[in-house]
Structures are given as C-alpha cells and as structure tokens.
C-alpha cells in the first residue's frame, strides 16, 4: 500500500471555474482569478484543488462536453496560465486534480466530426453507431439522461449515434482499442505536466453491453442498468489504472447508482484495484428519488444510513470521499439545512460530514454557506439537465409543481458567482457577470466571514485543520441511535482518543442523551455552534463535538 497514503487526510477544494473569480473583467471566471486566490484556498486549510473541466468546449454542458482535451478554453486563459497556476499551487503545497471526461466528447470534437463523415472514416468507430432497428426506428428504446432518446440520426452515414447525455455529447466507443490509446495519451499529457490525479466523470458508464436490446424493466431512464457497470468496465479501468501507476497520482471515479458491495470491486485496496476512491450518490438522496429533481421530504434516517453503510463497508478495505456539495447539486443549507438557521445549520452540516473517515471535498462557496438562487424562468438556470427534467416533469406533475422542483434542485444554484465581498457583483467581476449573482451576497460573503471569527468560514477552517488529527484519519466509526429521526450521533475512536459528534437536524430544541462516558471531566467540547451547552437538550441545528482522552 505504498502509494495510497498521501491523499488520505487531504482536503480538496472544488473549483467550477466559470463562477469562481474573474481575473480580466470579461464577466467570466478564469485561471488568473484562480491564481489570485491560491493563498485564499490555502488559508482555508486546503491541500488540493479539483478543477471541473477547463478544456476547450462549446459549453453545452459547461465543459463536460470537450472539443479538445489538450487545450484550455479561451474563456479561462491559455496553457501558459494553467502552467503558472499549477506551479504556484505546487509551490504552496496544493495538489491539482483534473476532470477527465471520457464517457463522451462534444459533438464539435474533430473525432466526432470525422466519425460522422462515413462508415469508412478512420474515426467512425471512435463512437457508437448502430443502424435503425426497423425502418426509421432507433436501434433501441434507451432514454438519454439529458435530452430525449439516447440515439440521434446522422444523415451522412444513415445511422444513429449513442448519447447518454445531450445530443451534443456523443458517447465514445471504449471497445475500440484506438480510443483507449487516445485516453491514455490524454492522461499522460496532463500527468507529464505534473497534475496529481483525475476525477473520472461518470466512469461506470463507459462500457456498453455487447448488444443493444430494448430495456423493458425500467419505466423511465431506460437503459440505465444496462450501461452502468457494463461488461468490460473492469478491463478498461485496469488499462487506465496502469497509466496512473506510472505516476504518483490518484484516480477518483464519479459513480452514479453505486452501492458499497459493488464499489469494493473497484476501490478495495490491493491487487485489482482500479480506482483510489469514488464519489457515490447515496447520501445525496435523502430528499429525493433517483434524481435530485424528484423531491421528497428530507429523511435524516436515510441520510444516516447511507453514510454509515459506506463508513462501515469500506473500513479497513477502501477509502471514502466526503462531500455534500459539488457543481451538480443545489446548495446543501437549502437542502438538508435551513436558510433561516443559516450559520447554525451550515456549521452542523460541515462538522457532520467532515469528521467522518475519508478524503474531504468542499465546493466553492460552500465554506460561506451560499444558498440556492430563485430565478424566474427555467432557461435562466442555464442548465441542460434541468431543461430536460422540467419537460418530463411538466407532463407528469404539471407546470407549477415542476417549476418548484426545478428551482429547488437546479445545478444552477451551485453555479452562481462566488461571493467574495459585499461590493458590486459580489466582487466576482469588474464587468458584467455571465450568470446571475445571488442577491443575498451582501449578507453572505467571504470578506465579512473572514473578519468575523464566529462565522461559518472560520468554522470550516477549524474543522479542516482538526481533520489532520490521527483520530479523524485513522479512527473507527460507530453510529449511535441510528433510529433517532432528528439526531445524528457517531463516535470516532483511535488509540486513547475518542471523538463524539452530535448533530441535531431539528428546527426546534431537542432532547438527547449524552453517553455517560462523556460526562467525565476528561472530555472537552472542541466544536459547538452555540455559546451554550446542555447535557440533555440541543438547540435548533446544534452540533457538539466532544473529544475525550483516556490514559493508557
Ligand atoms: C457528470 C458531471 C456533470 C455532467 C455529466 C455529463 O455527472 O459531474 O456535470 O453534466 O457528468 O458529463
Ligand atoms: Ca475572465
């Protein structure tokens, strides 16, 4: 296990660059903006940055549709700017992880343009083409996750191409060895530059079944279980893993619909391991069904069960990631917390996940508790996924309800510009911001929170520092009272140190029982989001973290 150590207690900051910080006044976040803020990121207690895609892209899905894997999108700067950021980051002790989007490219990628030209074209087999089933019928009944059906007709070849996401995101054919060579070349290009790893986008979708039959099992999202964890997934991932092993880097897979048992076949440490960690989605589904769009009342028990299942299943075998936000989900205080108890619930949620075992990820703006944005029209959210979900939703549940669901779940809420201060455009740009700034920036911004030592920002900073303790990195995890509907309590233990984390998810004050071993004199409250503490009652959204050392 020689190569697994360095990332295990790391704290990563995720940058979705377009909305992070504008460095040249054109209203769009960019690499110079990132360069300016490296010290900021470091001062928060980060050890690394994960960049959502910054490559050339027509931006139909904001960078998750790549048209050139070897160049930086001109909106964000040049390759020189990237090299400058990489070097400066490394000099400050910050690792850099890139997004590797290889399930699909953009339809503007030269490979795809060639691929469309004819069946004899050398790039034709880079994508997944099938003839029609019957006259004018798609090859099968699969749905696209972003846009209508999963097959799109091409007049030049008289065939259909597969796109699990939007029409502008054709799926690459990993069954073609040439495609796999291209991918390894891309990986080596960035690793040779010195990047420290990749987050592999929807990586469990890359192997498609050998035959494309109709899916009659799924009422919606037809095909999902056919292309998730496809027959050759392990083979392909093993090949990509070989490249990673040539470097001291790590691979983190984004893995939708993933449960721990199956996860272990990819991330269990030792022989056959193909990923170092993964982003699964289970704890993000405590207030929705299948996708964020289909909402249900938040159920704490569901969230706790997800966290505990993963913590327990991976113990001693594999490594967890810890996250509550990213560019694909609306803001966590607006979801699992409470905007009215902004700071309280923000602090509680932060401690709740950051003190578990795993590598931590914080998404830009999460450290100050940015909240969801309420925009008038669906189009205003500029989110291709939402457009599709809304169209389906409108037919099923009507426009009014669908609009409500859309506003609550849109990824757009995670993508509004970061609030740097309470000045014009929240200090994000001197120009006109490319996307709406959340109007609450005067109340919620980084400059104010850095000034105020009681702020959510400082709470994050202390937690990120506290994560370096051996008990957080190595300690066991035990959940207490899993049946409690309002309180999440767990204990971490390592050698003679125990840490008890008590989180109330209640809007009202709530009775609880402090385990008697924590009544003794040797315990110390290390985190509390209120001034007061009671042994039998928690204030709304109170979090208490109690550390205890027993002499040995
Ligand atoms: C992943 C990305 C998401 C993107 C999708 C298609 O889920 O995180 O932003 O839209 O893949 O690439
Ligand atoms: Ca700019």
18 alpha carbon, closest ligand: 2
Nearest CA to ligand 1 atom 12: 64
What is the pLDDT at residue 551? 77
Judge if the beta carbon of residue 328 lies within 6 A of ligand 1: yes
24 alpha carbon, closest ligand: 2
d(CA 327, CA 413): 9
Closest CA to 223 of 316, 313, 128: 128
pLDDT in tens, 114-125: 999 999 999 999
pLDDT at residue 268 is higher than 80: yes
Q: How many CB atoms lie within 10 A of CB 531?
A: 7
35 alpha carbon, closest ligand: 2
Measured from the Cα of 256, ligand 1's closest atom is 7
Judge if the beta carbon of residue 287 lies within 6 A of ligand 1: no
What is the pLDDT at residue 220? 84
Characterize the bridge pairing of strands 250-254 and 510-511.
Answer: unpaired
pLDDT in tens, 322-364: 999 999 999 999 999 999 999 999 999 999 999 999 999 999 9
- Tokens at 424, concatenated: 């014009």
What is the pLDDT at residue 522? 84
Measured from the Cα of 327, ligand 1's closest atom is 9
pLDDT in tens, 137-194: 999 999 999 999 999 999 999 999 999 999 999 999 999 999 999 999 999 999 999 9
Measured from the Cα of 326, ligand 1's closest atom is 8
| φ, ψ dihedrals at 223, nearest 5° | 105, -20
Measured from the Cα of 103, ligand 1's closest atom is 12
Judge if the beta carbon of residue 279 lies within 6 A of ligand 1: no
Report which secondary-structure segment, H or E, holds 389.
helix 384-397
Nearest CA to ligand 1 atom 6: 64
pLDDT at residue 5 is higher than 80: no
What is the pLDDT at residue 519? 84
- At residue 2 the predicted structure's pLDDT band, cuts being 50, 70 and 90, is very low
In eight-state DSSP terms, residue 53 is: P
* Interval between CA 202 and ligand 1 midpoint (Å): 7
What is the pLDDT at residue 388? 87
The pick from 105, 328, 414, 415 for probing ligand 1's pocket by mutation, whose C-beta has the most ligand atoms within 8 angstroms, reads 328
CB-based burial label for 364 (10 Å; 0-12, 13-18, 19+): buried
* Interval between CA 56 and ligand 2 midpoint (Å): 15
Nearest CA to ligand 1 atom 5: 64
Sign (positive/negative) of CA torsion 226, 232, 236, 241? positive
Judge if the beta carbon of residue 60 lies within 6 A of ligand 1: no
- Tell me if 102 sits within 8 A of 206, measured CB to CB: yes
| Mean pLDDT of the region 79-92 | 98
Measured from the Cα of 411, ligand 1's closest atom is 9
* Interval between CA 133 and ligand 2 midpoint (Å): 47
What is the pLDDT at residue 272? 95
- At residue 552 the predicted structure's pLDDT band, cuts being 50, 70 and 90, is low
What is the pLDDT at residue 376? 93
Supply the residues annotated as catalytic.
201, 254
* Interval between CA 406 and ligand 1 midpoint (Å): 17
* Interval between CA 35 and ligand 2 midpoint (Å): 12
60 alpha carbon, closest ligand: 1
* Interval between CA 333 and ligand 1 midpoint (Å): 22
Judge if the beta carbon of residue 62 lies within 6 A of ligand 1: no
H helices within 410-500, ranges in order?
A: 446-451, 456-466, 470-474
Judge if the beta carbon of residue 201 lies within 6 A of ligand 1: yes
Mean pLDDT computed over every residue of the chain: 96
* Interval between CA 434 and ligand 2 midpoint (Å): 10
CB-based burial label for 387 (10 Å; 0-12, 13-18, 19+): middle
What's the 3-state SS for 104-144?
ECCCCCHHHHHHCCCCCCCCHHHECEECCCCCCCCCCCCEC
d(CA 243, CA 381): 38
Judge if the beta carbon of residue 383 lies within 6 A of ligand 1: no
- At residue 539 the predicted structure's pLDDT band, cuts being 50, 70 and 90, is very high
pLDDT in tens, 272-329: 999 999 999 999 999 999 899 999 999 999 999 999 999 999 999 999 999 999 999 9
């Amino acid at each position: 296990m020689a190569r697994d150590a360095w990332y295990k207690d790391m704290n990563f900051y995720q940058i979705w660059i377009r909305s992070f910080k504008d460095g040249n006044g054109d209203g769009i976040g960019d690499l110079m903006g990132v360069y300016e803020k490296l010290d900021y990121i470091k001062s928060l207690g980060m050890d690394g940055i994960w960049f959502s895609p910054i490559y050339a892209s027509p931006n139909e899905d904001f960078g998750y549709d790549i048209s050139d894997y070897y160049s930086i999108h001109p909106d964000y700067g040049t390759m020189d700017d990237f090299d400058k950021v990489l070097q400066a980051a490394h000099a400050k002790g910050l690792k850099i992880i890139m997004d590797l989007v290889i399930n699909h490219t953009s339809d503007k990628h030269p490979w795809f343009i060639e691929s469309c030209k004819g069946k004899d074209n050398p790039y034709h087999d880079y994508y997944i083409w099938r003839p029609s089933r019957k006259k004018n019928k798609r090859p099968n009944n699969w749905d696209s996750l972003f846009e209508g059906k999963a097959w799109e007709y091409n007049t030049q070849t008289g065939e259909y191409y597969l796109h699990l996401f939007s029409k502008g995101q054709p799926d690459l054919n990993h069954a073609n060895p040439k495609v796999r060579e291209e991918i390894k070349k891309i990986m080596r290009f960035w690793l040779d530059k010195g990047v420290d790893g990749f987050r592999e986008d929807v990586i469990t979708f890359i192997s498609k079944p050998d035959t494309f039959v109709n899916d009659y099992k799924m009422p919606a999202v037809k095909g999902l279980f056919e292309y998730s964890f496809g027959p050759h997934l392990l083979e392909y991932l093993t090949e990509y893993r070989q490249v990673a092993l040539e470097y001291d880097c790590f691979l983190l897979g984004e893995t939708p619909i993933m449960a721990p048992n199956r996860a272990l076949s990819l991330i269990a440490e030792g022989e056959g391991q193909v990923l170092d960690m993964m982003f699964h989605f289970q704890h993000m589904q405590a207030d929705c069904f299948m996708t964020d769009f289909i909402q249900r009342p938040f159920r704490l028990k569901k969230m706790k069960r997800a966290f505990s299942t993963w913590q327990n299943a991976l113990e001693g075998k594999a490594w967890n990631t810890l996250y509550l936000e990213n560019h694909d989900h609306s803001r966590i205080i607006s979801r699992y917390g409470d905007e009215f108890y902004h700071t309280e619930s923000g602090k509680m949620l932060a401690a709740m996940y950051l003190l578990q075992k795993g590598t931590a990820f914080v998404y830009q703006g999460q450290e100050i508790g940015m909240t969801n944005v309420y925009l008038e029209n669906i189009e205003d959210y500029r989110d291709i996924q939402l457009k599709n979900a809304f169209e389906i939703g409108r037919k099923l549940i009507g426009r009014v309800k669908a609009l409500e669901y859309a506003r609550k779940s849109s990824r757009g809420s995670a993508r509004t510009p970061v609030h740097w201060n309470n000045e014009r455009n929240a200090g994000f740009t001197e120009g006109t911001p490319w996307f709406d700034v959340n109007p609450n920036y005067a109340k919620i911004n980084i400059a104010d929170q850095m000034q105020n030592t009681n702020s959510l920002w400082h709470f994050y900073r202390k937690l990120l520092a506290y994560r370096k303790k051996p008990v957080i990195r190595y300690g066991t995890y035990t959940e207490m009272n899993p049946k409690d509907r309002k309180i999440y309590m767990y204990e971490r233990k390592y050698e003679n140190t125990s840490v008890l984390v008590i989180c109330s998810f209640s809007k009202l004050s709530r009775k609880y029982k402090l385990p008697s071993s924590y009544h003794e004199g040797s315990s110390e409250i290390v985190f509390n989001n209120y001034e007061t503490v009671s042994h039998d009652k928690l204030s709304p959204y109170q979090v208490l973290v109690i550390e205890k050392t027993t002499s040995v």
